Structure 1
Amino acid sequence: MNLNIKIKDQDFVLHPFGAAYWPEKEVLLVADVHLGKVSHFRKHGSAVPLKSTSQNFIKLDQLRKEFDPEHILFLGDLFHSSMNMEWNMFEEWIENIDNKVHLIAGNHDIISPLRYEALNIKVYPEVKVDGFYLSHHPEEMPGHFNICGHIHPGIKMKGTGKQSLKLACFYRSSNQMILPAFGEFTGNYIMQPEEGDRIFAITGKEVIPVN
């Protein structure tokens, strides 16, 4: 179940997969997919199921079907490292979609921008639009609300006794929202909310506001 929120009089739809849809701009925001990480793990002997390589594309296609965005904007770390078999999967995926795809380069995005340009994907260091500052790393920009990734935010929820549960989350403070990592096997950084911060945990099926 999605969750609708308002930021600077703009609508944002938070999705349980960890993406956010901005209907006024018809743009789907996705952070930290880390394509190629599964292949990287397998190359170094980790017992990661091969079918996991397709999960990110399956989720992206479900989001495309649900929102039909004109634009898909990746907020950095689209790929985990250098090219591997998942680049070929990505090329095939791009050839079969009609959305305009953009990338804000992250610290893991070491693949040449020329490769992306050959696929008609525009690469930017950051994007400013209508009072919003879209970046990979969390940044402060006077007069702008920052939407970013990089941190892989998570929250630890405690139950009765010693029970606890770690979930990825959208992390919103007064002038910033950090998106959860979209990719499989990316891990989370447990956030320590300050007064006024808002947490929206994701389960894959619903988005849950956390007090």
Structure 2
Amino acid sequence: MAKKIVLNGLDCFLLPQKVLYIPFYHLLVLSDWHLGKMKHFRKEGLFVPPVEVEEEISRLELLFQELTVERVILLGDLFHSDWNEDWTAFALFTHRYPNISFLLTRGNHDILVDAHWAEARLQIIPQYILAEGLLFSHEPVADLPAYMFNIVGHLHPGCVVRGKGRQQFRLPCFHLKNNVLTLPAYGKWTGLHILPKEDNARFFSVIYDEVVEIKEFF
């Protein structure tokens, strides 16, 4: 179940697939996929669990079937490092949807050459702005005007919540503080950066197939 928040009068839905959906613009936003990460580590001789990129692609394709999507914004760190075969799978995916435009606000891990971006139908942009004053970028923009909201990635935000007894869980979350909304990392094996509880911050955690606002922390 999605969680609706309103930013500058615009309905925005935080989805349990760890993406943001804005129906008025038929816009889907995700961040920090880190495609190719596991293959990169295996190439370096590290033992890591197998990750099928098709599984993460399928999650998006299911959303394309359920929602009206005309544009996808990828908020940086789409690909983890140098090229490997996962990029071919991603390029095939984007070409299956010629009526959807794919935009990338480049992150610090996005080091592929321009030919690879073009191969996957990706338009590279520094940031993207909606008329309502929502600005999309990989990292927070300095000196953001007070009337704007900045939608970002980069941090891989997470929080620690209570379970029954003495259980505690580290969970990915959407993090809203002042006028900055940070999206959780879309990729499965990206790690979490646990953020502290603050009076002026809201945490929306992904718990199975639901997004829940968390108000009790350790």
Q: TM-score range by the shorter chain?
A: over 0.9
1:199 aligns with 2:203: yes
Q: Which runs of 5+ in 1 are unaligned?
A: none
1:23 aligns with 2:27: no
8 Å CA contact 2:17, 2:59 repeated in 1 = yes
8 Å CA contact 1:35, 1:80 repeated in 2 = yes
TM-score (norm 2): 0.91
1:209 aligns with 2:218: no
8 Å CA contact 1:201, 1:208 repeated in 2 = yes
Match of 1:153 among 152, 157, 160: 157
RMSD: 1.5
1:95 aligns with 2:111: no
The percent identity for this pair of structures is 34
1:169 aligns with 2:170: no
1:55 maps to what in 2?
A: 55
Looking at structure 2, the residues matched to 115 and 159 of structure 1 have their Cα atoms a distance apart, in angstroms, of 44
Match of 1:185 among 183, 189, 203: 189
8 Å CA contact 1:38, 1:53 repeated in 2 = no
Looking at structure 2, the residues matched to 129 and 53 of structure 1 have their Cα atoms a distance apart, in angstroms, of 30
2:138 maps to what in 1?
A: 136
8 Å CA contact 1:75, 1:106 repeated in 2 = yes
Looking at structure 2, the residues matched to 49 and 114 of structure 1 have their Cα atoms a distance apart, in angstroms, of 28
1:113 maps to what in 2?
A: 114
- Tell me the SS of whatever aligns to 2:155: coil
TM-score (norm 1): 0.93
Looking at structure 1, the residues matched to 62 and 109 of structure 2 have their Cα atoms a distance apart, in angstroms, of 25
- Tell me the SS of whatever aligns to 1:156: strand
Q: Which runs of 5+ in 2 are unaligned?
A: none
- Tell me the SS of whatever aligns to 1:4: strand
